[in-house]
């Protein structure tokens, strides 16, 4: 099978369930073990039933192993030893292949905690610890009242802190912050190189913050998101017809060259928006199939300032049990003239085809 050709053309055409499954199998072979080929096919892949609505898991043959309806949302694209899912009773949890709950996952932005430096935060008895993203194994037993994500091998934690709320957001306040390494060992002071890196950060680099709905930047991006999303998958557009034609004309050698470019592009985009590559592509397809008005009616659009003139337009869906779940995000960059450019997750592929 001409994997790359089918991958991109089918993604543009959006034959949702069959194509997403093919895409995922390609991503698995390219993203796992730093490009090494998977021999053992003992894994499950997430799927979305767009007709009945809901998420589940299939094996590599396409047989449904975990049917839709058991979990409102799943957050792990591939399910080997563990998967992160939404539980109506416990919130975000990890389950093993027997669907036993292993532990709760720390909530972040109304979703499960994102992976940082190979770890993500977990919860037990209202305490925070860390688990390995590759295996799901608990690396640091929950023991902290507050814990920030790992960065450069260190995490800032506290056993005595409180939460202070500012509008819809909250922050941790403590006089006893200290650093730990990945074994949980206390480090009195952060690494010198890390401190130097923080001190020379660009003046316009800011912590991510959500824009007020009356902010002119928010209004500008809000008016564009649904239209930009639809245009990228309009099979009748001249741009996409040309795109598909160029893909069909690729030689096997060119397809092999394009595959790692595609994987790198979608992976970097997913990392910036705190999504897994599979989740991003699956939800991209789901939203792209909707009418512009339906998108505006169903999803709350929030715009986050990521710093360095980069903004994420996030699609949030209201949950039946209360609260919201972030399902997608598009990136925008403010140019020097004040205009905004939509950052296409497949731009690297487009550039390759236009060479």
Whether residue 236 is contained in a domain is answered as yes
Alpha helices in 124-274 (DSSP H): 192-199, 216-222, 225-231, 238-248, 252-272
Same domain, 355 and 212: yes
132 lies in a domain? yes
Establish if 10 belongs to a structural domain: no
Structural domain of 325? 208-355
Q: What is the pLDDT of residue 5?
A: 42
The answer on 137 and 153 residing in a single domain is: yes
Residue 296 lies in a domain: yes
Supply the pLDDT for residue 26. Answer: 43
Q: With CA atoms as reference, report the closest residue to 147 among 134, 135, 130, 168.
A: 130
Of 201, 227, 256, the one marking the end of a domain is: 201
CA 211 to chain centroid, in Å, comes to 20
What are the C-alpha distances in Å from 273 to residues 92, 270, 297? 19, 5, 22
Last residue of a domain, one of 201, 226, 255: 201
Are residues 190 and 232 part of one domain?
Answer: no
As beta bridge partners, residue 87 has 91
- Shared domain for 302 and 183, answered yes or no, is no
> Does residue 315 share a domain with residue 223?
yes
Q: Do 150 and 223 share a structural domain? A: no
Residue 175 and residue 240 in one domain? no
Domain-located, residue 59: no
- pLDDT value of residue 147: 94
Domain match, 308 and 332 both: yes
The answer on 288 and 230 residing in a single domain is yes
Residue 322: inside a domain, yes or no?
yes
**Domain stop point among 177, 201, 225:** 201
The DSSP symbol for 106 reads P
> Does any domain span residue 86?
no
Q: Say yes or no: 181 and 239 in one domain.
A: no
Please answer whether residues 57 and 44 qualify as being in contact, where contact means their C-beta atoms are separated by less than 8 angstroms.
Answer: yes
**191 and 240 housed in the same domain:** no
Both 286 and 145 in one domain: the answer is no
Q: Residue 298: what pLDDT?
A: 80
For CA atoms 97, 99, 102, 105, give the dihedral sign.
Answer: positive
> How many structural domains is the chain composed of?
2
Whether residue 22 lies inside any domain: the answer is: no
pLDDT tens, the chain, 355 aa long: 344 444 444 444 333 333 333 344 444 444 443 344 333 457 888 888 767 778 899 987 889 999 988 898 888 888 989 999 998 888 899 999 999 999 999 998 778 988 888 899 999 999 999 999 888 999 999 999 999 999 888 999 999 988 877 666 678 888 889 999 999 999 876 554 443 333 333 333 344 578 888 999 999 999 888 888 776 655 566 776 777 778 778 888 887 788 788 777 887 887 777 766 666 766 776 666 677 777 777 888 899 888 888 999 988 877 665 566 777 888 999 999 989 998 888 788 888 888 7
């Amino acid at each position: 099978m001409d994997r790359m050709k089918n991958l991109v053309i089918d993604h543009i055409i959006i034959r949702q369930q069959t194509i997403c499954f093919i895409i995922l199998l390609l991503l698995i072979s390219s993203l796992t073990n730093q490009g090494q080929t998977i021999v053992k096919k003992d894994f499950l892949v997430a799927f979305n039933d767009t007709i009945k609505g809901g998420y589940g898991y299939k094996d590599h043959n396409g047989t449904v192993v975990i049917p839709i309806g058991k979990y409102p949302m799943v957050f792990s694209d591939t399910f080997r030893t563990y998967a992160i899912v939404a539980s109506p009773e416990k919130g975000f949890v990890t389950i093993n292949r027997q669907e036993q709950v292993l532990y709760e996952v720390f909530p972040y932005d109304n979703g499960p905690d994102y992976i940082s430096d190979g770890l993500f935060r977990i919860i037990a008895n209202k305490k925070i610890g860390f688990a390995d993203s590759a295996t799901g194994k608990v690396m640091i037993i929950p023991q902290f009242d507050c814990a920030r994500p790992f960065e450069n091998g260190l995490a800032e934690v506290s056993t005595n802190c409180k939460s202070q709320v500012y509008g819809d957001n909250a922050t941790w306040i403590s006089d006893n912050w200290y650093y730990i390494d990945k074994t949980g060992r206390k480090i009195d002071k952060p690494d010198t190189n890390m401190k130097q890196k923080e001190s020379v950060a660009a003046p316009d680099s800011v912590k991510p913050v959500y824009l007020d709905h009356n902010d002119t930047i928010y209004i500008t991006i809000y008016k564009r998101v649904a239209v930009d999303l639809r245009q990228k998958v309009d099979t009748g557009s001249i741009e996409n017809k040309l795109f598909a034609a160029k893909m069909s004309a690729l030689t096997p050698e060119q397809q092999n060259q394009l595959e790692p470019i595609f994987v790198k592009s979608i992976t970097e985009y997913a990392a910036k928006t705190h999504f897994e590559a599979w989740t991003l592509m699956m939800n991209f397809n789901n939203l792209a199939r909707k009418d512009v008005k339906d998108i505006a009616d169903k999803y709350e659009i929030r715009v986050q300032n990521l710093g360095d003139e980069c903004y994420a337009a996030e699609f949030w869906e209201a949950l039946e049990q209360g609260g919201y779940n972030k399902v997608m995000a598009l990136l925008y960059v403010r140019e020097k003239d004040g205009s905004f450019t939509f950052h296409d997750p497949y731009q690297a592929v487009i550039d390759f085809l236009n060479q």
